[in-house]
Amino acid sequence: MLLNSLLGTTWYPITFDSPLNIARGVFFWIAVAFFLAVIVGAIAAKKGTRKKFLLVCLFLGVCYACLVGLVLLVLSFAEDGIAALLFYPLLVLILCIAASAVALYFFPSKVTLIVTGCVTGAAAVAVLVCMGFLYASGDSLLSNWIYDDNGDPDFSKVSQLGLYLSAGALIVALIAATFLLGRKEKKGFDSKSIVYAAVCIAMSFALSYLRIVKMPQDGSITIASLVPLMIYSYMFGVKKGVFAGLIYGILQAFQSPTILHPAQFLLDYPVPFACIGFAGVFAKIKKLDKLPQIQIALGGVVAGLARFLSHYLSGCFAFGSFAPEGQPVWIYSLGYQAAYVLPDIAIAIAVAVALFSSRALVRQLRESGEVFETPEPAAEKTEPVAEIPTAGPIAVAEAAPAETVSPAEPAETDRSDE
């Protein structure tokens, strides 16, 4: 089933049938060439210049990611479009999150936290309400090919109860696991963690456009688009990693808005990509300090399985009508989600392991991150000072201040001979 699903999809690196796919293919092969050039250059560079070379490559990579994300986002809107009832609420939510982060950075207080939390929460509720209206009108079902023989939206093909229950259960589990696994981490965002979050989210968002395969009912295999988020979680911990993944998931709704129900939106976008924050769960395991490849690989497996579970439940309750006749929905969803989620996370883990094989890179990540304790500088050694006895005649003599000797007065001149 997995092979049949992949064979029946579009392979974007060799598809040039529209301006969007042409740009996507060109950017894809440029990214592959750039990645290979970085590897060759890092191997060929001398020890003294390797760090500077990698820093220059990182800067170029960030600039390239921003360019790719901007160009492909504009082309996506121009070709595919997005319903206004989805676009504007999602845009307002993203702006509220960004404004809240800036406000908390410049004015860190409980009042700021309460105000920004209320505003962002209200924006999130508005997004879900607008999605509810879109579902109630039937437009979201028709746009996702869920209709009856008469061409009318078929609400019976979507299990609303299953969607609400599974979304609620996963959100509670996600919050509990985040606070449990990140209970010893630093609280709040500082300027460094905010900057790194913005860079990693932007790079993951741009890489997610460079698809290898896209599935019929959405879902795609990309060239390691999750690696920047995995690295961010490794550096700054599970809590911040989950939050960065949450924002990335909302941005994914702009890129490919396959949304037919509010709970399905949660299961396919914010929740599964927030789970990528679990990639840093093994970063503080002391026994694995000398094996960072194992740390990031195990974290990637946990994150990938959590993401898979969320997509799987969405497939069962929202897209079960696409199952072939006679095939159980749970088997259909299992095969469909495994066809793209597992290869996508496998590529990300393989690339992350390759990157973490560089000791210099791992050292730099640990020095820049927050989850690793920096050793305190050793205290300077001082020579012991001999104590002065406090009793006895010798002590008094030693302790007595020396008499100040006044300079001798000049002798008077004898003037009798004059």
- The string of pLDDT tens digits covering residues 95-107 is 898 888 888 878 8
Residue 257 CA neighbour count, 13 Å, CB half: 23
Choose the most confident range, by mean pLDDT, from 153-157, 209-213, 302-306, 367-371: 302-306
Q: Is the pLDDT of residue 192 over 60?
A: yes
Q: Is the pLDDT of residue 28 over 50?
A: yes
Distance CA 279, CA 286 (A): 16
pLDDT band at 374 (very low <50, low <70, confident <90, very high): low
Assign 3-class secondary structure to 219-281. Answer: CEEECCCCHHHHHHHHHHCHHHHHHHHHHHHHHHHHHCCCCCCHHHHHHHCHHHHHHHHHHHC
Mean pLDDT of the chain: 82
Least confident of 232-236, 264-268, 385-389: 385-389
Q: Is the pLDDT of residue 398 over 50?
A: no
Which pLDDT value is given to residue 90?
A: 87
Amino acid, res. 363: R
3-state SS assignment for residue 339: helix
Which pLDDT value is given to residue 10?
A: 67
Q: Is the pLDDT of residue 9 over 50?
A: yes
**Which pairing describes strands 10-11 and 220-222: parallel, antiparallel, or unpaired?**
unpaired
> What percent of the chain stands above pLDDT 70?
86
Which pLDDT value is given to residue 384?
A: 53
Least confident of 41-50, 126-135, 396-405: 396-405
pLDDT band at 417 (very low <50, low <70, confident <90, very high): very low
Amino acid, res. 355: L
Which pLDDT value is given to residue 176?
A: 95
pLDDT, mean of residues 382-391? 51
Q: Is the pLDDT of residue 4 over 60?
A: no
Which pLDDT value is given to residue 219?
A: 83
Q: Is the pLDDT of residue 376 over 60?
A: no
Q: Is the pLDDT of residue 188 over 80?
A: no
pLDDT, mean of residues 173-202? 85
pLDDT band at 199 (very low <50, low <70, confident <90, very high): confident
Q: Is the pLDDT of residue 396 over 50?
A: no
Name the residue with tokens 């060799």: 14
Indicate the helix (H) or strand (E) that contains 28: helix 19-44
pLDDT band at 234 (very low <50, low <70, confident <90, very high): very high
Distance CA 196, CA 202 (A): 10
Q: List, in sequence order, the alpha helices (H) in 138-237.
A: 139-143, 160-181, 191-209, 227-236
Which pLDDT value is given to residue 418?
A: 39
Distance CA 65, CA 86 (A): 25
What angle (nearest 5°) sits at the alpha carbon of residue 56, between those of residues 55 and 59? Answer: 85
Distances (CA, A) of 153 to 144, 192, 321: 10, 48, 12
Phi and psi at 332, nearest 5°, equal -60, -50
Phi and psi at 214, nearest 5°, equal -125, 135
pLDDT tens string 36-94: 888 888 778 777 787 788 778 878 887 888 788 778 777 777 776 677 888 888 889 98
Taking residue 57's Cβ as centre, other Cβ atoms within 10 Å add up to 17
Name the residue with tokens 């159980």: 328
Which pLDDT value is given to residue 166?
A: 95
pTM here is 0.80
Which pLDDT value is given to residue 341?
A: 93
Taking residue 184's Cβ as centre, other Cβ atoms within 10 Å add up to 8
Q: List, in sequence order, the alpha helices (H) in 45-83.
A: 47-79
